[in-house]
Structure 1
Amino acid sequence: MTARLPVFPLGTVLFPGLVLPLHIFEDRYRALVRHLLTLPEQPPREFGVVAIRTGWDVAPTAPDGRPLPEDDVTLHEVGCTAELRQVTELPDGGYDIVTVGRQRFRIDSVNRASAPYLTAEVEWLPDPDPPDQAGELSARVTAAFRRYLGLIRADPEDASEQLPEDPTVLSHLVAATAALTLADRQRLLAIDDTADRLRAELRLLSREAALLRQVRAVPVPLKELASPPTPN
């Protein structure tokens, strides 16, 4: 099943269930918010958030103020819809909005001319029920994530926060909140199977924890390591 969505290119990856606040200042995306506000509240007012592969999420403008085509921007294929939950209109005509990720999709084609903002024909991606082994994997990821939090947070109590029991929800939370690269996050978003996503997160958390332990074992400040050696 396919659908056409307005698309917002960003330098971040949105996951289902995660909150994404945005400050809307560019004319094309102000137009997008105004369009969404004309729609009924049900079904949810949504647009697609897609991470930028190359290029800029804010294109230059022509002398008359119109945005130039975003031809220099290429997008990742997999994104996530953002449901508009809260809108605050600003005195300058911009908006502060709060959105929540809802559903993953894959881009089939992008239209750069039908609206001031990008639109795309998208295919919805499934979120199948987690397999039986996802429960065991979820417990292992929870333990690994707590150990990881213990390495990056000064207060041990911060690592004992409640984590979701649902394996799919947990997989999205870990992917969004661990200090991963955009490429890592994008790969996790593109994984359809919850168990496969949890397995990938176990490997990433192990990698990140090992790096953090190495940094802590360094006997001199990191800024000194970044300095060129002094000639003899």
Structure 2
Amino acid sequence: MASLPLFPLGTVLLPGARLPLQVFEPRYVALLRDLIEAQEERSPVFGVIAIREGNEVGEGAVRSLHDVGCAALLTHVAVLGGQRFFVIVEGTDRFRLGDIDSGAATPYLTAEVTWLEERDGDPALLAPLAGRLRAELEAFRDLTDEAVEGASEVEVPEGPRELSYAVPLVVSLDLGDRQRLLECPDTETRLRLGLDLTHRERELAQALGATLKAPQSPFDLG
């Protein structure tokens, strides 16, 4: 078990993904300052975890959280003025949420977490599944290229594990689907789920004449 400060959000961070955030609530400004002050001793990492019930903003607005989240490495900080900051984080390792530390002397949530191992599944199936998913993503991108802003500029990763997490870079998925990807026990399962989700969205795009919104690039407030 490890202790990790938490930043509950109305979105899901996946390993390898970059997430821009505006930080203005006093408790999360305090979290940001604590991370920066301690970065000489340890990496500036906190936990992003999706809200199951409640809202991002407001004291006591979060009523329940999902069980699995992703560590976020702070890579960029800019002062917007006053107590407002613009930050960019990158998803690293997944974790399973344990007990909230009610005794932590911080205004933000701190919890005990268990780091989740990255398993791949059946090695013989990874390359074929990755090839099928890559082809499905390309077919989706070809179909929606004119409707989805920036889709043609997205570079699809080569490695099966990285590819399994990259589906939302091309396909617009809601929080529930992104959380399912995050919670998959191994790369093989995630590739299969990504293939199903991409195929579903491609069929929907065909039915709607490819009039899809762009993939979500969250600019969350916290």
The TM tier, using the shorter chain, reads: 0.7 to 0.9
**Partner in structure 2 of residue 107 of structure 1:** 97
1:54-73 map, 5 Å: 54-59=53-58, 68-70=59-61, 72-73=62-63
DSSP 3-state at the match of 2:55: coil
Alignment-derived partner of residue 128 in structure 1:
119
Change (3 A) 1:158 1:12: closer
With over 3 angstroms needed to count, the CA separation of the structure-2 counterparts of 1:160 and 1:92, relative to structure 1, is: closer
Higher relative contact order (CA 8 A, sep 6+): 2
Which amino acid in 2 is paired with 1:94?
R
For 1:158 and 1:50, the matched residues in 2 are separated by: 26
Deviations 1:138-190 (A, max 9, x none): 01000000111122221899548542111011111114542111101101100
Which has the higher Rg, Structure 1 or Structure 2? 1
Answering whether residue 12 of structure 2 is matched by residue 13 of structure 1, we say yes
Equivalent of 1:89 in 56, 79, 103: 79
1:7-46 aligned within 5 A: 7-41=6-40, 43-46=42-45
Q: Is the 8 A contact 1:79 1:106 kept in 2?
A: yes
Q: Which runs of 5+ in 2 are unaligned?
A: 212-222
* Matched pairs, number: 208
**Structure 2 letter corresponding to 1:78:** V
Quote the Cα distance in structure 2 between the aligned partners of 1:176 and 1:125. Answer: 23
Instruction: Tell me which residue corresponds to 1:118.
Output: 109
Sort the Cα spacing of 1:29 and 1:86 in 2 relative to 1 into closer, same or farther, 3 A: same
Provide the residue aligned with 1:190 in structure 2: 183
Query: 2:70 corresponds to which residue?
Result: 80
Change (3 A) 1:26 1:160: closer
Deviation, 1:112, is 5.0
- 8 Å CA contact 1:7, 1:118 repeated in 2: yes
Report sequence identity in percent: 41
Alpha carbons of 1:160 and 1:142: their partners in 2 closer, same or farther (altered >3 Å)?
farther
Alignment of 1:158-197 (within 5 A): 159=152, 162-197=155-190
Residue ranges of structure 1 left out of the alignment (5+ in a row): 60-67, 219-232
Which residue does 2:142 correspond to in 1? 150
1:199 corresponding residue in structure 2: 192
CA contact (8 A) 2:154 2:169 kept: no
Q: Distance in 2 between matches of 1:6 and 1:214?
A: 44
Contact 2:141–2:152 (8 Å) recurs in 1: yes
Runs of 4+ displaced beyond 3 Å = 155-162
Q: Aligned letter for 2:190?
A: R
- Asked whether the 8 Å contact 1:108–1:123 carries over to 2, the reply is yes
Distance 1:151 1:217, change over 3 A: closer
